[in-house]
Amino acid sequence: MKTKVYVTGVSRGLGKAVAEKFLHEGYSVIGIGRTSDIHHENYTFQACDLSVSSDLKNIQFDAESEEIILINNAGQIGHLQRISDQKEPDFEEVLRVNTLAPMYLSWTCLNQAKGAVKIANISSGAATRAIPGWAAYCASKAALDRFSETLQLEESEKGRDVRIWSVAPGVIDTAMQEKIRAASPANFSSLDTFLDLKKNDELTSPEAASDKLFRLIVHAEINRVVCSLREIE
């Protein structure tokens, strides 16, 4: 296949499921992250701590591919505590992983690619909604949305075959949700909402979310840049 798929944050959760989905569909996948236990003949792994700029600079894209798909999935929720209560503020690490790494990898990819490019940045409903206890996370995803929209306008002005999405995946049953549910009620006023979502079995599985993400990217099911997997049936 002439497409190469790059996915960040493949150790678990949505990133692992989406890497496995593309492998299952016959694509060549390159995982990028700190660890990975995926084994497949069409899979390679590039070790990278996305918060470390020298690691990011080592990531290269296959310029000769007819098409490159980049899925900036890796993310961190941060401390789950009001900013003014944090002993060490979380915003530097959160912004590095959630915002600067996708920006840097998008730049590298668009600079190196000679063929078509599709970039899916994994955003969040928190990009458009202020949630106390998640200030850095909300800011990081809001910035990702605006960056993605601007990048799409820029590449369209240049007439390039580039599609960008900043997609909220819905509430997915992953380690990130476990961390959210383990927050202290004194620090996180929305805790009951997330406990109830789990209790009422309202979380999406990583596999169901990755099926939708695959359809979004491969079949370009949504035209807008900022979107949600909830829009896909």
Ligand X SMILES: NC(=O)c1ccc[n+]([C@@H]2O[C@H](COP(=O)([O-])OP(=O)(O)OC[C@H]3O[C@@H](n4cnc5c(N)ncnc54)[C@H](OP(=O)(O)O)[C@@H]3O)[C@@H](O)[C@H]2O)c1
Chain positions contacting ligand X, by CB under 6 A: 9-15, 33-35, 49-51, 73-76, 97, 122, 124, 169, 171-172, 174-177
Query: d(Cα 31, Cα 48) in Å, to the nearest integer?
Result: 10
What the block records as the tokens of 169 is: 């995946």
* Beta carbons within 8 Å of 84's beta carbon, 6+ residues apart: none
CB of 149 to ligand X, least distance (A): 18
**Closer Cβ to ligand X, 115 or 207, answer by number:** 207
**Closer Cβ to ligand X, 13 or 133, answer by number:** 13
**Closer Cβ to ligand X, 46 or 116, answer by number:** 46
CB of 158 to ligand X, least distance (A): 28
What the block records as the tokens of 93 is: 């690490």
Q: In the chain, which ranges are continuous DSSP H helix?
A: 13-24, 53-57, 91-95, 101-112, 135-157, 175-181, 191-199, 206-218
CB of 25 to ligand X, least distance (A): 20
Sequence letter at residue 78: G
For 139, the 3-state DSSP assignment is helix
CB of 131 to ligand X, least distance (A): 11
What the block records as the tokens of 43 is: 């899979």
**Closer Cβ to ligand X, 2 or 129, answer by number:** 129
**Closer Cβ to ligand X, 10 or 117, answer by number:** 10
CB of 192 to ligand X, least distance (A): 16
